[in-house]
Structure 1
Amino acid sequence: MIARLRAAGCVFAEDEADLLIAEATTPDRLDAMIEQRVTGLPLEQVVGWAEFRGLRIVVDAGVFVPRRRTEFLVEQAIGLAPARAVVVDLCCGSGALGVALAAAADVAELHAADIDPREVACARRNVEPAGGHVHLGDLFTPLPSGLRGRVDVLLCNVPYVPTSDIALLPAEARSYEPRVALDGGTDGLDVLRRVLVDAPRWLAPTGALLVETSERQEPLAVAACTRAGLLARVASCDELGATVLIATLPAGDVTAS
């Protein structure tokens, strides 16, 4: 088993073999899981879950796999969440970000939304047991109107890979994750710009928008934030290779309508 996994390019073949053995219910199921893995299916989709900030997040086939670096975004959000926070997780994928924040902070209301029906179906399996609600639609469109001006923490792991760079991604991402969760347009910031246009109407006066981006895109992302009338700062973690844009309303600015 280890030899097959290693030959398929699995760097941590021994660890993966142990996990597959632990998750397989029968020898036939183990053989099928090994075959899925050696043909390139992400390990998390093979076993049906991913570990994210110590939680077991359900990950269905064809769903974006939460990255470890994105744990840094959640850590930043934990420090910003007030008591009884209203939280929205846009481009939610599996719902990992909102669920992880709800597990670590005092969250009174949790909503998640995604445009991909597969992602939404998966997110419901994670978010609803945490007491949250999941909505199908494009960005803010499916959210309840009553959230306008009330969102304390707006998590948004937008797709930010430039279209020309998609071909450079690992085969696991290119072949088994939805392109809509990866492709951010020509410079990778198309979806972020759309979020920034509407975010001021949804944020509470002291709320914060947190978006993962790349170090390379940081100057353009900050400039886009400024054009949208938001104050921007950037947090980064060298260990995880994570860059997070944190945007807030200017003091005294109440734009909800």
Structure 2
Amino acid sequence: MPDSPASTPSLVSFPPAVGAAAVIALRAAGCVFAEDEAELILATARGPREVTALVARRATGLPLEQVLGWASFHGLRIAVEPGVFVPRRRTEFLVDQALAQAPDASVVVDLCCGSGAVGAALAAALGPVELHAADIDPAAVRCARRNIGPRGGRVHRGDLFEPLPAALRGRVDVLAANVPYVPTGEVAFLPPEARDHEPAVALDGGADGLDVLRRVTARAPDWLAPGGCLLVETGEHQARAALAAFSAAGLVPRLAVCEESYAHVVVGTRP
């Protein structure tokens, strides 16, 4: 669930009854954090009618971030559109690992970028960088341009590395790839918010969840600069196989784990 934004607060003051009605409706829809969600909706809406409309959309099961039109990620407000993968707070750990590994990075690529949250967060922390992002989903590309464009980045549509400019080969300092890693057989068991409202291409990682990771890892060394790093989020039970894929590609791998957010990130460095 997004944090309450530190900037651009609502300029509308609502009567207590409006907030109370929103909480009641959200509770009735099964929202566990109804009070917090109502607060965020009131902070976003521009009038009572919009509050009602946003609550109604949330009650249908639409992810809160898609209802609000934004998600809080690494201190930023990231634009999120319907049908686009919602950035997870645990993925902030991937950003932190990238910054620790390559604090002076000047060329950054956000692969499988979705909303572009990872690329935007890296650019915000690193300062001026050459930033590129890519995704195969046109809705994601459109959304990512809203988040990455203002930071001078370019978003390309296509399958993994295919749409990237050839001039990037051998120059990338940070290659962040938040690949889909849910095994095909487990997609049906995801929460309805993800299963029903996010694109399957952003969730389904194939039979063991590692199909896209292997494709990215195999080609990453051609794009990384010497000393450049590839970072991929994966599941705990997939970590050993992911490490093996990195090693097979000639990268020097390590596994970073954040117990608090239950995040597992494989970092591979080109020698």
Q: TM-score, normalised by structure 2?
A: 0.90
- 2:257 equivalent in structure 1: 236
1:255 matched to which residue of 2?
none
**Structure 2 residue aligned with 1:89:** 110
Residue in 2 aligned with 1:103?
124
Post-superposition offset of 1:22:
1.7
Distance 1:84 1:247 in 2: 15
Amino acid at match of 1:11: V
Partner of 2:169 in structure 1?
148
Judge which range, 115-124 or 26-35, deviates more: 26-35
Mapped pair 1:183 → 2:204: yes
Cα distance change of structure 1 residues 106 and 29 upon mapping to structure 2, 3 Å threshold:
closer
Deviation at 1:107, TM superposition (A): 4.2
* Match status 1:163 vs 2:179: no
Q: Could you report, residue by residue, the CA deviation over 1:156-196 in whole angstroms, capped at 9, with x for unpaired residues? A: 00000000000110000011100000000000000000001
Partners in 2 of 1:82 and 1:52 — Cα distance?
Answer: 19
Q: After TM superposition, give the deviation of residue 26 of structure 1 in Å.
A: 2.3
Is 1:7 aligned to residue 19 of structure 2?
no
Structure 2 residues without counterparts, runs of 5 or longer: 1-21
**Contact 2:157 2:163 (C-alpha < 8 Å) held by counterparts:** yes
1:184-222: per-residue Cα shift (whole Å, max 9, x none)? 000000000000111010000010000000111001111
Consecutive unaligned residues in structure 1, runs of 5 or more: 251-257
Hey, what's the Cα distance between the residues in 2 that align with 1:237 and 1:107?
A: 28
Deviations 1:68-117 (A, max 9, x none): 00000000011122435100000000000011011111442000000000
More deviation, 49-58/77-86:
77-86
- What is the CA–CA distance in structure 2 between the aligned matches of 1:85 and 1:14, rounded to whole Å? 42
TM, length-normalised to structure 1: 0.95
1:211 alignment partner in structure 2: 232
- Taking the aligned partners of 2:253 and 2:101, their CA distance within structure 1 comes to 14
Query: Hey, what does 1:65 align to over in structure 2?
Result: 86
AA of the residue aligned to 2:132: H
Report the counterpart of residue 220 of structure 2 in structure 1: 199
SS in 2 for 1:10: coil
Matched, 1:126 2:126: no
> 1:221-250, CA deviations, whole angstroms, 9 ceiling, x for partnerless residues?
111111112111000000000000001123
Q: How many residue pairs end up in the alignment?
A: 250
Amino acid at match of 1:211: V
1:45 corresponds, among 41, 44, 66, to 66
CA RMSD of aligned residues (A): 1.0
AA matched with 2:217 = L
Residue 193 of structure 1 aligns with an amino acid whose one-letter code is R
The alpha-carbon deviation at position 7 of structure 1 amounts to 2.3
Once structures 1 and 2 are overlaid, which stretch shifts more, 238-247 or 26-35?
Answer: 26-35
Post-superposition, which runs of at least 4 consecutive aligned residues in structure 1 deviate over 2 A?
81-84
How high is the sequence identity, in percent, across the aligned residues?
A: 65
For the Cα contact (< 8 Å) 1:222–1:232, is it kept in 2? yes
CA distance in 2, matches of 1:126, 1:133: 10
Partner of 1:36: 57
Aligned equivalents of 1:241, 1:216: Cα separation in 2: 12
